[in-house]
Amino acid sequence: MKQLSVLLVAGLAAFAGVARGQSNPAAAIYDASDIEPLLPRYQKGWMRNYTQVFLPVFTAEERARLDGVQFRFEPRDPASEPFAFYSTRDAVFASASSLKFLDDLSVATAWLDLSGFTTQTIADYMLMLRYWRYSQGDSRPPEPLQALCIPADALSNSRVDERANRIFDGVVVFILLHELGHVFWGHPGYVGVAPEVARANEEAADRFALNILARVNEAPLGLSVLFLAMGNLWESRADYTTDEAYQRAVTSHTHPLSPARLQSLASHIAASGRGFTGDSRAVALKVSLDISQLALLLADLDVQRLSAGIGRTVTAADLAPRRRGQHLTARCRGSAPTGLPFDGQFHGNVRVGQTALDLDAVLTQFGDRVTGSYSFGAGFARIDGLVAGSELSYGWALPPDKGRGIGTLLGKTYEGTWGTGSANSGGGTVSLARER
Question: Is the pLDDT score of 14 beyond 50?
Answer: no
What average pLDDT does this structure show over 382-397?
96
What distance in Å separates the CA atoms of residue 296 and residue 259, rounded to the nearest whole number?
7
For 218-258, write each residue's pLDDT tens digit: 988 889 999 999 989 887 878 888 888 877 776 666 555 77
What distance in Å separates the CA atoms of residue 363 and residue 212, rounded to the nearest whole number?
52
Question: Is the pLDDT score of 212 beyond 90?
Answer: yes
Phi/psi of residue 151, each to 5°? -60, 145
The pLDDT assigned to 197 comes to: 84
Give bridge partners of residue 352 from the DSSP assignment. Answer: 355, 428
What distance in Å separates the CA atoms of residue 240 and residue 246, rounded to the nearest whole number?
6
Per the omega criterion (within 30 degrees of 0), is the bond before 82 cis? yes
Question: Is the pLDDT score of 137 beyond 80?
Answer: no
Q: Which residue, among 206, 11, 24, 179, has the nearest Cα to 97 in the 3D structure?
A: 24
Pairing of strands 401-410, 413-420: antiparallel
Question: Is the pLDDT score of 155 beyond 60?
Answer: yes
What average pLDDT does this structure show over 143-147?
97
The pLDDT assigned to 370 comes to: 96
DSSP 50: I
Lowest model confidence (mean pLDDT) among 156-170, 238-252, 273-287: 238-252
Phi/psi of residue 144, each to 5°? -55, -50
The pLDDT assigned to 235 comes to: 79
Contact by Cβ (8 Å): 283, 221: yes
333: pLDDT confidence band, cut at 50, 70 and 90?
A: confident
For 73-109, write each residue's pLDDT tens digit: 999 999 899 999 999 889 999 999 999 999 999 999 9
| Contacts for 271 with CB less than 8 Å, ≥ 6 apart | none
Ramachandran class of 301: left when φ > 0, alpha when ψ lies in -120 to 50, beta otherwise? alpha
Give bridge partners of residue 428 from the DSSP assignment. Answer: 352, 418
User: In one letter, which amino acid is 346?
Assistant: F
Provide the 3-class DSSP secondary structure of residue 350.
strand
The pLDDT assigned to 198 comes to: 82
The average confidence (pLDDT) of the chain is: 88
pTM of the model: 0.91
What average pLDDT does this structure show over 56-76?
95
The pLDDT assigned to 274 comes to: 74
> In Å, what is the CA distance from 168 to each residue of 8, 64, 161?
7, 29, 11
Contact by Cβ (8 Å): 16, 76: no
DSSP 353: T
Q: Which domains does the chain have, with CATH numbers?
A: 21-318 (no CATH), 344-434 (2.40.128)
Q: Which residue, among 271, 97, 78, 99, has the nearest Cα to 171 in the 3D structure?
A: 99
